[in-house]
Structure 1
Amino acid sequence: MRPNCNQRMRPSMRSLAVSLLALLMLTAATVVVNGQVLYGSIVGNVKDNTGAVVSGATVKVTNKVTNQTREVTTNAEGAFNIPTVQTGRWEVSVTKSGFKTYTRSNVEVVLNTITRTDISLEIGEVSETVSVVADAALLQTDRAEVRAELTSQKLLNLPIPPGRNYQQLFRTLPGISPPTNAHSVPTNPSRALEYNVNGTNSSSNNVRIDGASQYNLFLPHVTAYVPSLEAIETVNVVTNNFDAEQGLAGGAAVNVQIKSGTNQLHGSAFEYHDNHHTKARPWQLAPINGVPQDKPKRVYNQFGGTIGGPIVKDKLFYFASFEGTNDRQLGARFLTLPTAEMRAGDLSGGGGNIYDPETGTPLGLNRVAFTGAQIPANRIDPIAARILQSVPLPNRDGFANNYYATAPYSYDKKTIDAKVNYNITDKLTTYGRFSFLTYKQLNPGALGDADGVGTAPQGGNTGTADGETYGLTVAGVYTLTSNFVIDANVGYTKQGTSSRQGFLDERIGLDVLGIPGTNGARDFENGWPRFRIGGFANIGVQDSFMPYTRNDPQWVYVTNFNWTRGNHNIRFGFDFARQTLDHLQAEWNGGGNAEPGSGGFIHNGGPTQLCRTANAAGTACSSFEPGNNWNSFATFLLGYHTGAGRTLLVEPPIIFKARAYSFYIRDGWQVKPNLTLTFGTRYERYPMPKRVGRGIERYDFTNNTMQVCGVGGIPEDCGVKLSNKLFAPRFGIAWRVNDSFVVRTGYGLTYDPISLARTFRTNYPMLLAFNIVPDNSALPAGRLADGIPPSPAPDVSSGVVPVPNNVNVLTLGDSFRRPYIQSWNLVLERNLGWGFTGSAGYIATRTIGQSGLTNLNAGTVGGGTASQPYNQLFGHRASIFLQNGLFNSHYDSMQANLKKRFSNGVQMDVAYTWAKAIGMANLGFNNDGSLAINDPAFIYLNRGLLSIDRRHNFQFNGAWELPFGKGQRWGSDNRVVSALTGGWQLSWLFGAFSGTPFTVSASGTSLNAPGNSQRADLVKSEVEKLGGFGRGTPFYDPTAFMPVEFGPGNDARFGTSAFNFLATPGTVNLDLGIFREFRITEGVRLQFRAEAFNATNTPHLNAPGGNASAPSRDAAGNILLDANGLPRLNGFMEITSTRQYGREGIDERLFRFGLRLSF
């Protein structure tokens, strides 16, 4: 007899799986760690038809597609609780002697959600059966968190814009800002989106895929991996009052579940296409010198498929997904470049004076202006002239956005998601997931031989890039007894990426331009230096952090225990996260100015402006004659710079290791059948991150040295105290007033998971970010011909290293207080009938100890470098940044939601948020942003509306199966009509939301306060909104603001306009989809899809230009007019670009066509 292969296979597979699960649980249990919900729960109360409780009843649940079963018994109060249930649709049956058997099918279990199934038994024989089909649960009855689900049905039915990223639908959820594109493709290969939740930092969100953390240690505001839309079963998003089980998040805790196989074979194949013929002309694409321009070429294809089914029926299942993306475009970008007249020395177009820096006093007094703002040919610097020879001339009229650059762009990405589920026994189940991403990109520079910014529509790193990302999960659930369940998982994610700009095989700065001190012996130090001329496009390498290679692996180990005792469901567990940064990159990311490894120069207008008066001490200029961008270009053309530097990586590569530990315990207590109380606490610990073989670095304020922690006699933690008492209490109340009305309220405290590894990964003496700065803003810092002086690598063997006076440093104080977020809510939810539910509530957060960087070596107003405190003590002029948590922010909102579950062919969802967010207006997205004003006397000026404040956000989405054709209301009796009109579906995503705040800035020359930014003067009582966009048509009245040089009194002061004083334009957007489904056979269907994104072709306008020093002005400050009578704003209050709401640079209307086969 032939042996049964399945029988032979099962024991060995079972033994292997048991061994793996035991090892997994043992590994996780031996470290202190945070749990993450990967499953759901089924709870309920069993009564008879008189309302009396039924104890001792047997409750059995069965998954009808895998035949997995679980069984419990009701307690003395008639309650039952089945935790850690795999998601999907289950059948619930209840048996008890003396009662008819009750069966409820189609009970849906959702990720990280409690499904309530209350049951009433009828007196009779057990052999008799009462069967019902459950409707989808409408109310959230047993937990007080604020949450939402994005199902696979919703992900596939709604018109999701280019990229087809599940995070696009976060905009449909109350309290979440519309997600935006973030960073270049190489920095963010998965094309994850950035979003803020309830006024919190975008870095405090935590995403896990089947338990594996996607926390990006380097850029925590974007996730490491985004799976294919077709591979996702459901996305669970919790935005407020997390259960104690969820941590390492302050904004949103997001759980993504990859699909699993079942006993039936299912799959899909798809292709989506769009091109330049299917999109509208960009509104910025005006004729060039009267000649209409063709739309830039674009050919975009996204294709792939899925398949899933049984390997061994009822036991072993598989699922696999593949998706490919090919993007070919003629990349295009508008830039501002100097005209031919300007390059020849004619700077009269600026309308102001150009002063000779070689005249007058060292403070800039008594300077002599060049006649007619014309620089003589013999004064044009030869190095500046050589640089300009590589820079193309403008190809459009005017002085702003006068160059339209194009170059071929390509991007290819492939993703794979696979999953295997194994039901070993009724008590033991396991699964494993594998994900993979690979990409390649070509993004040529907009300036050709002079490189410059990339031409990709979404921006990003110039040059070539490639990389691979891996993801892995191994998880299991073991039912020890009917009331004690253990689940555990191990997750691994590794993001690898590399980006290189052009000309790295040449030393452009040293050998071609002849600038001493640029470039180096290593290839990542070669190519173009960077030249930043105020108001113009960068020349040379665009970004100071290029090139780079990054490999960032991370592990998470999780174990959870669930114990049901009476009316209490007690859950406790551990979580351990292990993260690594491994970078080959010469980047300073501690705030302030930094130049690339090839060197860089800044050219501002101070050296070619006139100082009108000096301060009383005669040490600095207190009043300047106004200048503009032409003064900045004059500084460059004369061969001067106002800042120079280079970033030297001493110990490549940069390797940092970080850890995070947590433990939690939570009790879900059903106080009464209609009242549930959840309370618990978490404990978290974040040890100091370490380099290989030693700790980080700390500045000694008493002697201008850096302590290298763990070297010489320096302790590994440098004596910095970290809190070991990070307890985070959580509680919530859910009161079911009746079957149609629920009241929920809760409070929770969470700690910001910020890792110091990102902030301190590049610090002196491992990296030298040195800068040359002038004595005051009227003087140049040097000449191009003088180059950049050498800065030798320091000796760290003693553990104490003197700090050069031109090197930026970053440090902690005696202690580091980890930021924490308090959140609370009060929500009312009601079943409105007809499949509708409505909810409204007050949602609030308070961020305490908001982390950021303070420049302790900032100068005072009008004091120049002489006022910098550590220049006075040690001659140190560069920045000294302290990482601290001294600031608070708060967010208050009203959030409302109206939902209609899918029935009668219609599903819809309406969400509205009214909110206000206030805090330190200028801190960045990574908790290591620096304040705009660091002068201690004026730090309070930083407070204002947060840049993420968005007062109103209305979202409306839905899908409607048109009521025509077979089985529908109309046309079902006529085969011809049915064939023509049947199978159509209309879907939509509509959003209308307020703009975000922005600041009106001005040149800091007159401020003369190193380490501080200037604001413009507000010279009118009201700022009129003109509503224009495009060149020459301002959005706000530009005459309402002036640089302080035109104001009364001393110029050395801050402008009178506040930070984040004005709002950017609001946004209205409509995405439409119309689909038709053809039934090929009973189980095979083909869907044709036509989608229109930004269907009304309404521009999603970006912020207006905010530099009040940009316009051409006369001596009185009036804005000059050009030959056509338009104000020469040079970008000020002009809107010349659009917002990137996750559309990869495509804002204009775009039609996409697709085919999807499912079986």
Structure 2
Amino acid sequence: MLGRLNCALARRALVLLAAPLLAQNYTGRITGTVADTSGAVIPGAGIVVTNKETQLTWKITTDPAGFFQVITLPPGIYDVVAEAPGFRKAARTGYELPDAGRLHIEFKLELATVTETVVVSESTGETVNTVSGEVAHTITSEQVEDLALNGRNYLELVALVPGVALLDEDQMATTTSLSVTRFAVNGTRSNSNHLMVDGGMNLDSGSNGSQINNVGIDFIREIRVQTSAFSAEYGRNSGASINVVTKSGTDQFHGSLFETARNDKLDAMEYFAPQKATFHFNDYGFSLGGPIKRGRLFFFVGEEWKSIRRLTSPTRRTLPTRANRAGDFSDRPNAIYYPGTRVPIPGKDLRPLMSEDGRAIMRVYDMAEKSAASYVDRPTSNNAILRARNPFNWRQDMARVDFRASDRHLLYFRWAHDAYDLIDPYGTFNASQLPTTPTSRNRPGFAPQLAWLATLSPRAFNEARINASWHGQRTPLLGANWKRTTYGFQFPQIFPGGGVYSDGIPDVSISGFASFNGPARVYLMAPTTDITVADNLSYLWGKHAFKTGLYIIRNRKDQNGRSVYCGSVSFTTSANAGTTNYALADAALGQFQRYTEAESDPVGFFRFSQYDAYVQDSWRARRRLSLEIGLRFSRYIPTYTVANNIANFVPALYDPAQAVTVRPNGVIVPGSGNPWNGLIRAGRGIPPKQAPRVPGWDSPEVASVPAGAPRGFYNPASLFMPRFSFAWQPLAQARLAVRGGFGAYHDRIQGNLIYGQTNIPPFSKQASLESGNLANPLGGVTSALTVMGTINAIDPNLKIPAVYSYNFGIQTELKQGFFFEVTYVGNVGRHLLRQPDINFPSLAALAENYARPSSQRAVVDALRPYKGYSAIRMFLSDANSSYNGLQTRLTRRKGNILFTLNHTWSHAIADASSDTENPDSGLEYTNRRYFRGSATYDRRHVLVATYTYRLPWLRRRKGWMGAVLGRWEISGITRFQSGPPLTPVGSATGVTRRADYVGGPVALPRGERGPDRWFNTEAFATAPEDRLGTAGRGIIIGPGLFLWDISLRKEFRLSERYRLRFQADAFNLLNHVNLRSPNVTTTSADFGSISSAGPPRNLQFGARLTF
């Protein structure tokens, strides 16, 4: 059956490919009825729908029931005219149809006496949705342009929608990070939302948490956010569907020049900072749109630049003194011996004994001192404060052409390009403690799209698009701080030429001092490409609007493993036969405790395809009842690598009879068993054509691990997702609607699940030596065989995460342009991901070990059930969640005072809050009931208000009074939000796990609560070794959030067409201290205290010339 289904999908794909290859569309529809004043329907009435911006028209007639519908309408402002013989013509003007929107209009035609038109003007604001039961909200271009946005990032507007909890209030960080995980929608995880631009994918499938293009707000027409029970046409992920609609040209020329700036001189002081942080922000650009040929061909172009000049946050590090770096250790109290002896070195003078590599290590610290903001030359901890430049540069190019080929065919092409460059002095990923690895996060994003809308017949319509989105992310190293030659490292590498930066310095760790990294673990190569092709075919039949479509996506990402091919050196006095009794002296002489070097930097060539199809019926079942019934199908194929150069641990393949023997100190008894017991390779081995890409593909190590696992380590799936919604209009006039719906949604699992599997044996080969000198690493002793370091694994029975969403609500239009709605929204999540350590010892094993004298206790690695391995972080799909929320919304989008007021009262519960959650380090990980509680993204109350007040005085006054005192506006965003649930933990042997609740109130009275003590610390204690902690999950509630952002604008009308607007924005106007979460570790000296806060008041100024 599945084979026949795949053939059917393939045949449909061929039909699509015979036409222009285009992708998924997000158009809307207008429905309505025509009747006379008595309520009798008028069949055959003529309906003309006109797009006011492009003058495109659609003409139809009503059916025998007086019903009409016009579908596949692009977003825009529409006029609708109804006429019938013997009746007066009626016109409704200014209806704003949002992306994927649905409008219903009812006409009451009067008998004609003379030829005349009745014009009923309507606001471009909201209308009651009497057509569907979905929960969706449109952020209009008015809101996009008028509301204060710190960093001018459109994603901040998504947080204005009911049901959205803001997880990070630092708006500027959203601009620089490309992250889309700073909010959670309706109790779903922050990486479960689907981002699109003009219906085309705008999400990096690697993490599901960052975007390809950060669209500039001056290029946005509107943002559509669908949060519950949306139709079968939509939904790659289980969270919200967020679509940005870009601007297009119209029949009139329009354009803008704009600039916005921020400077730290005008910012308030951060609450915990000793001084202001340096920060300069500039954002400037232009846009221009209009007709190339009126009524036929339109264009829109724009370009925007963002520049940030700032310093990193102050960081304290411990550096050796200048005397130590020169070889004089007389200021140290430690006895220092000749290596491997108990013979003291006279005067602790190591200068004649220092090795070339030891001197090179000390030159790294010399470099760090020169770049430090301050340094105290004393043998104390944290004697240096490091700050470095952290600039950000971004540019976006946007171009769009719309072409009306005929009355039956519309086409457009859109090009978007982001140039993104973030310089991090310590490294973007796996950052160094010292500025040895400055990187440029170079991530250019591209998104061309071609679309075609065709009227095939009066009843049949086709929408199609092809969309390609890709970025070329790399983090190349800058300068020379990463090079061996800069410091004079001389040691020979065991595997020369192991990677792109094989001439880089090693990672170095010295007990008691700042460590530093080389380029091997810092450089990331991760370009990704998504090509999506889709087609939607609509057919009208009576009161039914049928729609069916196909969605195909092909993804590729090549990513390196970032292994330590430049070497990794550890200097400690323990387990080091050649120690001097002081780790820093060991480093000066080159006497390492352990040296590790990887043979190569593995690269995974990852791919996946996904095929979705849907069918739906939008049915006007009764005059006042509309139903939407649909089914979406997805053929889900896991991400895999074309070279099959990945491996996985499978518990069912682990054979206890072949287990290695692990001594109490964690060392494996040589020859005692199979150290790779339980591993399996993907696919049927390395394909011959891929062999040159896989170092050591024909080695005995690779051959020793069997192949045969599914290429993505879990099986493909066929997913069926039913959708249903209704809208009932109880009254004759469309001023009240009762709506509800249900839908099943599945997530596309993030690619990071599998990317790290290239670093697992047998494809990750490395040498490890102990107690040697860096001048000749191979002269060291081959390391005793220890258990394998932490690895990731994937459950071969993994299921695709699902969310079942439902809602019921009432929406009504009040007087004077007010709209009110109250909606219950709920969902349950099943088969959600988590990543516990499945190899953590049981409570019984820990208790038995703890009962022994301390000298006889084994290390944790010796107690683990799967011998030969350390932590095994396995992705499982057995987590659950639930969400129940009451969402109320009051809006007014008409007149001089415009506002929205949203309140969400909700509770999100889960036994895992993220894909990688590993509470209690995996202890008793199968006890999901123990881990069930408030999700980390739960925010019990969220109140958000947005408002714009156009001061009415002197707006039309001419002369100097009108120029100075007229056309002022004030707008703002106010947010109150409950604090996050927090769980107290305590450090125990080998694990940090939940603490005990010992009684008493947890929350302190308001007058006693503060940054020094946020909650009652005496209510908790560290749990003993032989049982789980008794404190409930989320028992502590962290500080809430209060933000008041405001914008003041003044507009000057330079002429009939040209307007100049000046704007001043204040973020966190009252400079309210938004404390962040307190320390919840019982064994910490800072238990219960808070050491960081959100951004203080920031001021931003801008100017905008429009025509």
- Residues 1:88 and 1:1031: Cα distance change in structure 2 (over 3 Å): closer
Alignment of 1:922-1001 (within 5 A): 924=914, 927-936=915-924, 939-940=927-928, 941-967=930-956, 972=957, 975-1001=959-985
Matches within 5 A, 1:1044-1083: 1044=1023, 1051=1025, 1053-1083=1027-1057
Q: Name the SS for the 1:978 alignment partner.
A: helix
The 3-state SS of whatever aligns with 2:870 is coil
Distance 1:446 1:552 in 2: 21
1:838 aligned to 2:820?
Answer: yes
Name structure 2 gaps, 5 residues minimum.
1-10, 337-346, 577-581, 656-676, 687-705, 780-784, 850-856
Tell me, in whole angstroms, the C-alpha distance in 2 between the residues paired with 1:982 and 1:319. Answer: 31
Query: Residue 550 of structure 1: SS of its match in structure 2?
Result: coil
The structure 1 residue matched to 2:268, chosen from 280, 283, 288, is 280
For 2:540 and 2:572, how far apart are their aligned partners in 1? 69
Check whether the contact 1:466–1:497 (CA below 8 A) recurs between aligned residues: yes
Q: 1:850 aligns with which of 832, 844, 859?
A: 832
**Distance in 1, Cα, partners of 2:12 & 2:954:** 53
Q: Aligned partner of 2:302: which letter?
A: S
The alpha-carbon deviation at position 666 of structure 1 amounts to 0.7
Question: Is contact 1:61-1:91 (8 Å) kept?
Answer: yes
Kept after mapping to 1: 8 A contact 2:1064/2:1099 = yes
Q: Does the Cα contact within 8 Å between 2:153 and 2:174 map onto a contact in 1?
A: no
Closer/same/farther in 2, CA of residues 648 and 177 from structure 1, 3 Å limit: farther
When structure 1 is superposed on structure 2, of 1015-1024 and 144-153 the one drifting more is 1015-1024
CA distance in structure 2 between the aligned counterparts of 1:491 and 1:328, rounded to whole angstroms: 34
Partner Cα distance (1:570, 1:355) in 2: 85
Shift of 1:884: 2.3
2:1001 equivalent in structure 1: 1022
Question: In structure 2, how many angstroms separate the alpha carbons of the residues matched to 1:571 and 1:788?
Answer: 71
CA offset at residue 219 of structure 1? 2.0
Aligned with residue 244 of structure 2, among 234, 238, 256: 256
**Does the 8 Å contact 2:970/2:1047 carry over to 1?**
yes
- What is the identity percentage for the equivalent residue pairs of Structure 1 and Structure 2? 23
For residue 584 of structure 1, report the CA deviation from its aligned partner: 3.5
Classify 1:872/1:645 alpha carbon distance in 2 versus 1 (closer, same or farther; 3 Å). Answer: farther
SS at match of 2:257: strand
Cα displacement (A) at 1:439: 2.6
Which segment is superposed worse, 433-442 or 261-270? 433-442
**Alignment CA distance shift 1:300-1:184 (3 Å):** closer
User: Once the 2 structures are TM-superposed, how far is the Cα of residue 889 of structure 1 from its aligned partner?
Assistant: 1.1
**Shift in alpha-carbon separation, 1:579–1:71, aligned structure 2, 3 A:** same
Question: Contact 1:416/1:437 (CA < 8 Å) preserved in 2?
Answer: yes
List per-residue Cα deviations over 1:5-45 (Å, max 9, x = no partner): xxxxxxxxxxxxxxxxxx998674689x9985421111101
SS in 1 for 2:386: strand
Which letter does structure 1 place at the counterpart of 2:1106? S
Q: 1:511 to 1:347 in 2, by over 3 A?
A: closer
1:159 to 148, 166, 179: 148
Q: Distance in 2 between matches of 1:283 and 1:1137?
A: 8
What residue identity is the alignment partner of 1:906?
I
The residue that corresponds to 1:566 in the other structure is: 542
Distance 1:529 1:824, change over 3 A: farther
Secondary structure of the corresponding residue to residue 722 of structure 1? coil
**1:887 maps to which residue?**
879
Structure 1 unaligned residues grouped into runs of 5+: 1-22, 287-292, 349-353, 357-375, 456-460, 588-594, 608-630, 774-780, 792-802, 1045-1049, 1112-1128, 1140-1146
Counterpart of 1:92? 80
> 2: distance between equivalents of 1:677 and 1:960?
38
One of 315, 320, 342 as aligned partner of 2:301 = 320
User: Residue 41 and residue 1105 in structure 1: after superposition, are their counterparts in 2 closer, same or farther (change >3 A)?
Assistant: same
Q: Do residues 736 (structure 1) and 691 (structure 2) align? A: no
CA contact (8 A) 1:851 1:886 kept: yes
Once the two structures are TM-superposed, the CA of residue 640 in structure 1 deviates from its matched residue by 12
Q: Does 1:599 align with 2:563?
A: no
| Distance in 2 separating the partners of 1:567 and 1:40 | 16
**Deviation of residue 662 (structure 1)?**
0.6
Q: How does 1:1120-1135 map to 2 (within 5 A)?
A: 1129=1086, 1132-1135=1087-1090
- Name the TM-score, length of structure 2 as normaliser: 0.81
Q: Is the 8 A contact 2:888 2:904 kept in 1?
A: yes
Count, aligned residues: 1001
Report the AA paired with residue 628 of structure 2: T
Is the Cα–Cα contact under 8 Å of residues 58 and 96 in structure 1 kept in the other structure?
yes
1:574 Cα offset (Å)? 0.5
For residue 844 of structure 1, what is the amino acid of its counterpart?
G
Write out per-residue CA displacement over residues 950-990 of structure 1, whole angstroms, 9 at most, x where no aligned residue: 111111111111121133xxxx4x84433331011001111
Which amino acid in 2 is paired with 1:843? V
**How far apart in 2 are the matches of 1:908 and 1:184?**
25
CA RMSD, aligned part only? 4.5
- What CA deviation, in whole Å up to 9, does each residue of 1:967-1021 have, x standing for no partner? 3xxxx4x8443333101100111111112123333334x2x4xxx5333444553
* Mapping 1:742-821, distance limit 5 Å: 742-756=737-751, 758-760=753-755, 762-765=757-760, 805-821=787-803
CA distance, structure 2, for counterparts of residue 1053 and residue 990 of structure 1: 45
Closer/same/farther in 2, CA of residues 718 and 225 from structure 1, 3 Å limit: closer
In structure 2, what is the Cα distance between the partners aligned to 1:918 and 1:542? 42
Aligned partner (choices 255, 269, 274) of residue 267 of structure 1 = 255
User: Which position in structure 2 is the counterpart of 1:657?
Assistant: 607
Tell me the alpha carbon deviations over residues 1056-1095 of structure 1, each in whole angstroms, 9 at most, x when there is no partner: 4444432221111111110000000001000011111111
**CA distance 1:565–1:1037, change in 2 (3 Å):** same
Partner SS for 1:224:
coil
* Cα drift, residue 597 of structure 1: 6.5
In 1: Cα distance, 2:1036 partner to 2:180 partner:
29
Residue of 463, 471, 486 corresponding to 1:487: 463
What CA deviation, in whole Å up to 9, does each residue of 1:910-942 have, x standing for no partner?
111112122124x53xx3444544234764443
What residue is the counterpart of 1:243 in the other structure?
A: 231
Question: Shift of the alpha carbon at 1:238?
Answer: 0.2
- Quick one: which amino acid aligns to residue 664 of structure 1? Y
CA distance, structure 2, for counterparts of residue 1135 and residue 1105 of structure 1:
6
1:413 aligns with 2:389: no
- Is the alpha carbon distance of 1:76 and 1:495 closer, same or farther for their aligned partners in structure 2, counting shifts above 3 Å? same
Q: What is the CA–CA distance in structure 2 between the aligned matches of 1:1093 and 1:567, rounded to whole Å? A: 50
**Cα pair 1:764 1:808 within 8 Å, conserved:** no
- Structure 1 residue 600: Cα displacement: 7.0
Kindly indicate whether the alpha-carbon contact (under 8 Å) linking 1:650 and 1:768 is maintained by their aligned counterparts in 2: no
* Contact 1:842–1:894, Cα closer than 8 Å, also in 2: yes
Q: 1:345 to 1:271 in 2, by over 3 A?
A: farther
Partner Cα separation in structure 2 for residue 1030 and residue 606 of structure 1 = 47
Instruction: Give 2:954's aligned amino acid.
Output: G
Distance 1:537 1:254, change over 3 A: farther
Which residues of 2 match residues 101-140 of structure 1 at below 5 A? 101-124=89-112, 127-135=115-123, 136-140=125-129
Equivalence map 1:359-758=2 (5 Å):
386=362, 404-445=385-426, 452=433, 462-501=438-477, 505-507=482-484, 512=489, 521-524=498-501, 527=504, 529-530=506-507, 539-541=515-517, 545-586=521-562, 598-599=567-568, 649-652=600-603, 654-694=604-644, 697-699=647-649, 700-702=653-655, 703-711=677-685, 714-715=707-708, 717=710, 722=715, 724-738=717-731, 739-756=734-751, 758=753
C-alpha separation between the residues in 1 aligned to 2:1027 and 2:375?
40
Once the two structures are TM-superposed, the CA of residue 837 in structure 1 deviates from its matched residue by 1.0
Change (3 A) 1:601 1:121: farther
Q: Corresponding residue for 2:60? A: 72
Q: CA, structure 1 residues 1040+632, in 2 after alignment: closer, same or farther (shift >3 Å)?
A: farther
Mapped contact 1:770–1:808 kept (Cα < 8 A):
no
Deviations 1:336-373 (A, max 9, x none): 6489899999999xxxxx999xxxxxxxxxxxxxxxxx
TM-score, L = length of structure 1: 0.78
Asked if the contact 1:526/1:598 (under 8 Å) is kept, the reply is: no
Task: Go from structure 1 to structure 2 and tell me whether the alpha carbon gap of 1:388 and 1:715 turns closer, same or farther (over 3 Å shift).
Answer: same
What secondary structure, in the 3-state scheme, does the structure 2 residue paired with 1:227 have? coil
1:980 is paired with a residue whose SS is: helix
Other-structure match for 1:918? 909
